[in-house]
């Protein structure tokens, strides 16, 4: 039996309406992630929230500036996942120079369900990370989004030869 964890990447205010870099399909993606995290909580599957924080000097970040409203994890996700571990990152790969691998080992995790924003960047880079090779990894495709539908679909198609794609209804 595997020990699954749900990794929710960059569900942050700047990617939503009125944020500094709003993405495509965020309302539906948020709804799907809320359903999935609620299910994970009910099944005692650990949820890890990854938060990108720009390393650019103050006032120079296009978005995700430390201390800004935009860098905050979406409040509806924070409410559902109030006890989730938060992993701060500064690169596309959620493992790179973070404590993610240490946290996963504390929970004896061997399977990762990955979702979040942006599909072609942080989601795929985390799923294909060298450190991710230590886990059975799947991308929850209906819980991801990016700048537009075409880029989202191209990224999922490209990564699908290496990483299984699943729907949130079959994830847990």
For 13, 60, 107, the CA distances from 83, given in Å and listed in that order, are: 19, 32, 14
Whether residue 67 is predicted with pLDDT greater than 70 in this model: the reply is yes
Whether residue 121 is predicted with pLDDT greater than 80 in this model: the reply is yes
Helices (H), 21-114: 26-42, 75-80, 100-106
Whether residue 29 is predicted with pLDDT greater than 90 in this model: the reply is yes
d(CA 132, CA 112): 8
Q: What is the mean pLDDT of residues 53-69?
A: 91
Whether 124 contacts 159, CB under 8 Å: yes
For residue 1, the model assigns a pLDDT of 62
This prediction's pTM: 0.96
Mean predicted lDDT score pLDDT of the chain: 96
SS3 133: helix
Q: What is the pLDDT of residues 139-151, one digit of tens each?
A: 999 999 999 999 9
Whether 142 contacts 34, CB under 8 Å: no
For residue 60, the model assigns a pLDDT of 86
d(CA 9, CA 133): 18
Whether residue 109 is predicted with pLDDT greater than 90 in this model: the reply is yes
pLDDT band at 59 (very low <50, low <70, confident <90, very high): confident
d(CA 70, CA 73): 8
CA-nearest of 51, 54, 55 to 63 is 54
- Structural domains present in the chain: 4-171 (3.40.50.850)
d(CA 6, CA 168): 11
Phi, psi of 143 (to 5 degrees): -115, 25
DSSP annotation of 22 reads P
For 25, 67, 70, 120, 124, the CA distances from 28, given in Å and listed in that order, are: 6, 27, 19, 18, 20
CA-nearest of 18, 17, 23 to 9 is 23
Whether 156 contacts 165, CB under 8 Å: yes
For 34, 80, 90, 96, 113, the CA distances from 62, given in Å and listed in that order, are: 27, 28, 14, 21, 29
């Amino acid at each position: 039996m595997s020990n699954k964890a749900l990794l929710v990447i960059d569900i942050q205010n700047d990617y939503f309406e009125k944020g500094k870099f709003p993405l495509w399909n965020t309302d539906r993606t948020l709804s799907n992630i809320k359903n999935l995290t609620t299910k994970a909580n009910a099944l005692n599957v650990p949820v890890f929230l990854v938060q990108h924080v720009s390393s650019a000097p103050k006032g120079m970040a296009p978005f995700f500036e430390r201390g800004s409203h935009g860098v905050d994890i979406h409040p509806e996700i924070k409410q559902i996942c109030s006890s989730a571990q938060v992993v701060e990152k500064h690169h596309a790969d959620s493992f790179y120079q973070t404590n993610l691998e240490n946290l996963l080992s504390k929970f004896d995790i061997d399977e990762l369900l990955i979702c979040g924003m942006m599909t072609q960047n942080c989601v795929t880079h985390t799923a294909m990370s060298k450190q991710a090779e230590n886990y059975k990894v799947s991308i929850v495709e209906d819980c991801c989004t990016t700048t537009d539908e075409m880029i989202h679909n191209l990224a999922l198609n490209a990564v699908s030869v290496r990483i299984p794609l699943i729907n949130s209804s079959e994830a847990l």
